[in-house]
Chains A and B, each alone.
Chain A
Amino acid sequence: MALSREEVEHIARLARLGITEADKDKFCDQLSNILEQFQTLEEVDTNNVLPTAQVTDRQNSMREDNILPSLPQDAVLSNAPWREQEYFRVRAVLEE
């Protein structure tokens, strides 16, 4: 199961990971190797097997519609890398 460079680029873009040319080669190799190991799963007959998404014993875990205090505004913004007044600031969001 070899991964192409184009696929690596596509995945990196979906994941919003900047990668260098060298990274691309490395990921091609390493991810292809790992995916090859995953091939073993193909031997398992999973017809009529339901998927397990989680292993909790719970269902209908809900809360009542009550308001609790929010964080103080300063605490919300305390870790902001770029702040302007009471807001987080980012560069203009332009469509790609």
Chain B
Amino acid sequence: MVVSQTTKNIDYETVIGLEVHVQLSTKSKMYCSCSAAYSSAPPNTHVCPVCLGLPGSLPVINKQAVEYTMMMGLALNCNIAEHSHFDRKSYPYPDLMKGFQISQYDAPLAYGGWIDIETEQVVNRIRITRVHLEEDVSKLLHQTNSLGEIYSLVDVNRSGVPLMEVVSEPDIRSPEEARHYLMTLHSIVRYLGISTGNMEEGSFRCDANISIRERGTTRSNNKVEVKNMNSFKAVYQALSFEAQRQRELVQKGEHISMETRGWVDNKEITVSQRSKEYAHDYRYFPEPDLPPLVIERNWVTEIQKNMPELAQQKRDRFVEQYGLSLYDASLLTESRALADYFETCLKSPALQNLPKQKAAKELSNWLLGEFNRLLNLSNIDITRTKITPQMMGELIVFANDNIINISSGKVVLEVMFQTGKIAKDIIAEMNLARIGDTSAIDEIVKQAIQANPDAVADYKRGKEQALKFLVGQVMRISKGRADAKITAEIIKQNLIEGE
């Protein structure tokens, strides 16, 4: 360990590698047929001899979990192993039912991949070391009772839930890049439909290894493992804090100890959890209860064939095919559900008479604007909306054909969103059709002029603002239905005539 004493002006770079654990959304657990949906189950009800680690029980591999992991491997440009197997990883802990975890050591399902991460217009390729499959552990609930006793309660429901681990090379150079990398992985698992990706519930968790080194050198200081980061924001904050902490230590000429540190969200700091001086010795060896996997290439091809389009590909296709801006396409493809909704709307019969690019542009505006606002406000998932793609298409056609104006359109959308009624009925019931007939508007304009002599006077003195005010009054009286352009024209005519 060389610590330079005169480090004031040295330029350091941050070196980060991430280990991401993803709970797979299989129906059953990794090595037994208990339900994997543990989160809302009463304690110790999704438990059998296998996941409880009872004497005599034996594991059986969940094929779906293997295929999900292969999909992830392919999405990350990995090689899919021809020969893979499972290993026992020994570490005693009361949340680990067998005293070992069935994981993968030297023959992971997928290895040697990469993904490109775009941060502020700079693309960096992050190498993926491996993607492997293992099992989750039980939940320990920490308690203090009225006697002041501190103890833990064990709920075994989570034990054996499939966990996929994605390990990156230490190619990440900033907390911001780490955040982007994670968001990209998250988008991939959501697009593949292999995990809920829920970070708060622990379905998508991340540990980081972080160290700093003099820029241009390859020799890093001791690396620190950071845990307990439960959101993208926490990952960014924890790594920023840690990078800064390490820089300060080195600048003071102090030693960075190799240790595990936990992020404390409410204090926004990392604290030491345990030192690695007494290193774990996991004693990996091949799991004798599970025969090896021999992965024929036609199995890989089959999975490749059924892989869904991922976010980046979809974004680029939206730009190409629908003439959308890169910005809009990125927003539309942020979640697969929104992207799918967008495309189903476009295919609805209602929109078949509009030119495709025109329809796409209009639809994109509605979805990213008002519809998105309503979803966020009501906290309803897009997959649960009452507005069918055909209904959305009809609304857009009404707006495009000038049957309703924009502000009425927003009202129609909101009512549709709440009630599930179709646009045509809402327009009729609420009398929202645009008023384009000049004599009808003329009548309303006359009412407005009569009621607002001050504004009329202002206008005549040359205040253009007064015209806008009067248009607003017409809109108020017509409940927004009057055509704004025609209204302005008629007001002007009336005021000139009135002179």
Contact = CB atoms under 8 A, between A and B. Distances in A.
B294 A76 contact: no
Identify which of A16, A53, A84, A88 gathers the most chain B CB atoms within 10 Å of its CB.
A88
Nearest to B91: A14
Contacts of B141: 87
A65 B29 CA distance: 8
Given A61-B60, A73-B44, A89 B152 contact: yes
Interface in B1-33: 26-28, 33
Interface stretch (B235-243, B283-291, B356-364): B283-291
Interface residues of B, number: 51
B274 A95 contact: yes
B286 A67 contact: no
Nearest to B138: A88
A62 interface: yes
Nearest to B66: A62
A44 interface: no
A89 B151 contact: yes
A67 B60 contact: no
Interface stretch (B45-53, B217-225, B312-320, B395-403): B45-53
Query: For chain A, what secondary structure do more than half of its interface residues adopt (helix, strand, loop), or is it mixed?
Result: loop
A90 B94 contact: yes
A92 interface: yes
Interface string B256-293: 00000000000000000110001001010110101111
Q: Which of B44, B153, B154, B285 has the most CB of A within 10 A?
A: B44
B62 interface: yes
B35 interface: yes
A12 to B, nearest CB: 12
Given A89-B151, A91-B151, A60 B294 contact: yes
A77 interface: yes
A41 interface: no
B150 interface: yes
B390 to A, nearest CB: 34
Interface size bracket, A side:
20 to 34
Given A65-B63, A89-B153, A54 B286 contact: yes
B291 A88 contact: no
A38 B2 CA distance: 43
Contacts of B285: 53
Interface string A66-96: 1110110100110000001111111111011
B28 A87 contact: no
Contact of A87 (B48, B90, B154, B274): B154
Contacts of B274: 95-96
Most buried by B among A64, A66, A91, A93: A93
Contact of A71 (B47, B151, B293): B47
A56 interface: yes
Contacts of A93: 93-95, 140, 152
A62 B68 CA distance: 14
A59 B292 contact: yes
A62 B49 contact: no
A90 B291 CA distance: 35
Contacts of B286: 53-54
Interface string B455-477: 00000000000000000000000
Contact of B28 (A16, A53, A67, A85): A67
A86 B28 contact: no
B196 to A, nearest CB: 16
Contacts of B60: 61-63
B43 A87 contact: yes
| Residue from the set A14, A53, A66, A67 with the largest chain B CB neighbour count within 10 Å | A67
B155 interface: yes
Contacts of A76: 44-45, 47, 52, 156
B151 A67 contact: no
25 contacts: A53-B285, A54-B291, A56-B291, A60-B291, A60-B293, A60-B294, A61-B61, A62-B62, A62-B63, A63-B62, A67-B34, A70-B35, A70-B46, A71-B47, A71-B48, A71-B52, A73-B42, A76-B156, A87-B43, A87-B155, A88-B153, A89-B154, A90-B152, A91-B151, A93-B95
Interface of B: 26-28, 33-35, 42-49, 52, 60-66, 85, 90, 92-95, 140-142, 150-156, 273-274, 278, 281, 283, 285-286, 288, 290-294
Given A53-B285, A59-B294, A70-B46, 20 more contacts: A14-B283, A54-B288, A58-B291, A62-B62, A63-B33, A63-B63, A64-B64, A65-B65, A66-B28, A67-B27, A68-B48, A73-B42, A73-B44, A76-B45, A87-B44, A91-B152, A93-B93, A93-B152, A95-B273, A96-B274
